[in-house]
Amino acid sequence: MGRQQLRCRLFFTDMKPVNTYINRAFPLLEYLKKYNREAFRGDLAAGITVGIMLIPQGMAYALIAGLPPEYGLYTALVPLVIYAFMGTSRHLSVGPVALVALLVAAAISPLADTPEEYIAMSILLALMVGVMQLLFGLLRMGFLVNLLSHPVLSGFISAAAIIIGLSQMHHLLGIDSVSGGLHEILFGIATQISSVNILTLVVGVASIILIVLFKKKIPALPGPVAAVVAGIILIYLAGLDNRGVAIVGEITSGIPAFEIPVLEWSVITALLPMALAIALVGYMEAIAVAKAVQHKAKNYKIDANQELVALGAANIGGSFFQAFPTTGSFSRTAINFDSKGQSGVSSIISALTVALSLLFLTPLFYFLPNAVLAAIIMVSVFGLIEYGEFKRLWNLGHYDRYMLLATFFGTLFIGIKEGILIGVTLSVIMLLYRSARPNYSIMGRIPGTSAYRNIERYETEREPENLIFRFDAPLHFANAEYFRDEVFRTIQNHPDASSLILDLNGVNEADSTGVDELFEVVLDAEAQGISVYLSEVKAPVRDLIKKCSSGAKEWNFYMTVEDAVHASEMNRKSEEDLQYKIQRDTK
């Protein structure tokens, strides 16, 4: 082998780890190696369909965020392309969504004094959200999203959907803007009821009817696009803008320029709590729809931590091109999947469709009624209200239903930020409560077997001398005292017991506090003349027990409960034989 050939082979051998890292960071590149014409046809059709849908939705969601309509289109450019290369979902459609737009408005409205400040803070918020998501993904901290349990998220999303819908009522009625909680919005509308513009209301209601009809009768065609086209033509031909029907007006054309977000420490600290909330909620929304579609597709896998990295990179990249925070969309992802999209190429095509619109079509949107955009929003968020989830939880009779209600009403009447805080706080409190007071049971043998089960749930048999106590949780500082108290209470309720068998199969881990309390249980039980046996102890827990005792005690570890029962019976028999011998010798 020549020297030059050897160098080439060594070079490409050294490049293998680099190529592996690149393929892991940019899954689309690996997929493109087997890309074909058929896949492109599917991506082309899906990409154009989603792109056309994205244009009116983007402008509508920008209104929710309190931004000019073109910023919704800016948000549908760079983030889509970055996610297309880095995301592990081949169908997730990233871009502006109603829920995140509402959170943006809730975060910035109390802080911004001028429209320029509002826009700058929205872009800075996208950068902050992106940095958080990227760091969480790199540190493999996707588990943080579990701080929002499903009932809490369901309650929050349902309430937010109602707030989003009602917040657009002023566009639908042609009155002054109203905001706040449910009661404040309803009061604001009621005080202006005499100022309703009938023509605006007719345009809005007609748009809602048109969108719903298209959705039910002609689902292959996007109803929002039809409503936009019909609204523009109606306003242009009838001149309704001169009769009080508010229109979008002039939209800045052209691709957004590269700009570094304005960084101000005071603004960053003020936005930090909501940035964290948007990062978590946005990720939950994206991963939920990505997994749902992946389950249908069945030909690829979702990497949760890579999804965090991809969403973070999309938000960071978008912030340099005047985008507000973004995440995956339920409706557009479903359209992408149903339209036979095959890969992230469809998202790139969607972004190109929006870019062409910004370059050449913005003058056509001049006569677009705000009422049509409000109708698009109201129809899209209506599906977010989870009636079925509340009914299911209520029928279950579980405390999760009260968590849902607390989050729902907190978001609805107190505020968006407060609603999220209530939900997270309740989730953490319930987690701590369940961890501090876990399940335990008294065990008995199922007749004719060596299996031991809860005596309250199964027909079992047990000897009064053997008390078998099972603990179903890690043994740590939060529940160690509870463990000790419940063991002693159980011993008091079984005065005939001479052996205590602790089934620790459910104790996957322990800390020093938990082991200390275990020592106390053993010592106090032995002081009462009760022998203690430890069964099915996990190796890490067993090692910790031995280390903490420092050889001061000989422990009785047994592989199964049956082994521990057998040992206790043998020891009891030995003691009885010994007592009989002593009594015989003393006669």
Please state the three-class secondary structure of 133-181 as a single string.
Answer: HHHHHHCCCHHHHHHCCHHHHHHHHHHHHHHHHHHCHHHHHCCCCCCCC
Q: How far apart are CA 435 and CA 478, in angstroms?
A: 7
Domains of the chain (ranges; CATH) run 1-34 (no CATH), 36-429 (no CATH), 440-586 (3.30.750.24)
At 119 the pLDDT is 95
Contact (Cβ atoms closer than 8 angstroms) between residue 182 and residue 412? yes
Tokens 């239903």 — which residue?
401
At 206 the pLDDT is 94
Of 105, 125, 34, 103, nearest in space to 345 by CA? 34
Query: Residues 568, 572, 576, CA angle at the centre, nearest 5°?
Result: 170
The token pair that represents 292 in the structure block: 């749902």
The token pair that represents 6 in the structure block: 């050897």
Q: How far apart are CA 479 and CA 481, in angstroms?
A: 6
The token pair that represents 320 in the structure block: 């340099």
CA 551 and chain centroid, separation: 47
Segments in 218-322 forming alpha helices (H)? 223-238, 265-297, 304-319
Q: What is the dihedral of CA 156, 159, 160, 161, to 10 degrees?
A: 120
Q: How far apart are CA 99 and CA 292, in angstroms?
A: 19
Q: How far apart are CA 282 and CA 328, in angstroms?
A: 7
Q: How far apart are CA 60 and CA 375, in angstroms?
A: 9
Is the pTM here over 0.85, yes or no?
no
Strands 499-503, 557-558: parallel, antiparallel or unpaired by DSSP?
Answer: unpaired
Q: How far apart are CA 290 and CA 120, in angstroms?
A: 30
At 490 the pLDDT is 92
Of 542, 435, 524, nearest in space to 479 by CA? 435
The helix/strand count (H/E) of the chain reads as 24, 8
The token pair that represents 5 in the structure block: 């050939």
Return the SS3 of 503.
strand
Which DSSP letter does residue 247 get? B
At 583 the pLDDT is 56
Contact (Cβ atoms closer than 8 angstroms) between residue 79 and residue 60? no
Contact (Cβ atoms closer than 8 angstroms) between residue 519 and residue 549? yes
Q: How far apart are CA 220 and CA 524, in angstroms?
A: 73
Q: Give the number of C-alpha atoms closer than 13 A to the C-alpha of residue 435, restricted to the C-beta side.
A: 14
Q: How far apart are CA 532 and CA 550, in angstroms?
A: 19
Q: How far apart are CA 294 and CA 181, in angstroms?
A: 36
Return the SS3 of 448.
coil
Strand partners, 501: 468, 533
Residues 6 or more apart from 298 whose CB is under 8 A from it? Answer: none
C-alpha distance from residue 94 to each of 15, 308, 313, 486 (Å): 32, 13, 12, 51
Residues 6 or more apart from 442 whose CB is under 8 A from it? Answer: 454, 455, 456, 467, 468, 469, 470, 490
Q: What is the CA radius of gyration of the chain?
A: 32
Q: How far apart are CA 327 and CA 281, in angstroms?
A: 9
Rounded to 10°, the helix 400-409/416-436 angle is: 160
Contact (Cβ atoms closer than 8 angstroms) between residue 125 and residue 274? yes
Return the SS3 of 190.
helix
Q: Is 95 left (phi over 0), alpha (psi -120 to 50) or beta?
A: left
Q: How far apart are CA 385 and CA 395, in angstroms?
A: 18
At 7 the pLDDT is 56
At 487 the pLDDT is 93
Of 187, 201, 301, 207, nearest in space to 244 by CA? 201
Amino acid at residue number 459: E
At 4 the pLDDT is 58
At 267 the pLDDT is 93
pLDDT digits (tens), the chain, 587 positions: 555 555 555 454 555 566 666 777 788 888 888 888 888 988 998 898 888 888 888 988 998 899 999 999 999 999 999 999 999 998 899 999 988 998 999 899 889 989 999 999 999 999 999 999 999 999 888 776 666 677 887 888 888 888 888 888 888 888 887 777 888 888 988 999 888 899 999 999 999 999 899 888 887 777 888 888 999 999 999 888 888 888 888 888 899 999 999 899 999 999 999 999 899 888 988 887 888 788 777 778 888 889 999 999 999 999 999 999 999 887 788 878 877 888 889 999 999 999 999 999 889 889 989 899 888 888 877 777 878 888 888 887 777 888 888 888 988 898 877 887 888 788 788 888 888 889 999 999 999 888 899 998 898 888 888 899 999 999 989 899 999 999 999 999 998 888 999 999 989 999 999 999 999 999 899 899 898 999 999 999 988 988 887 665 677 789 999 999 998 888 877 765 555 455 555 55
Contact (Cβ atoms closer than 8 angstroms) between residue 61 and residue 97? yes
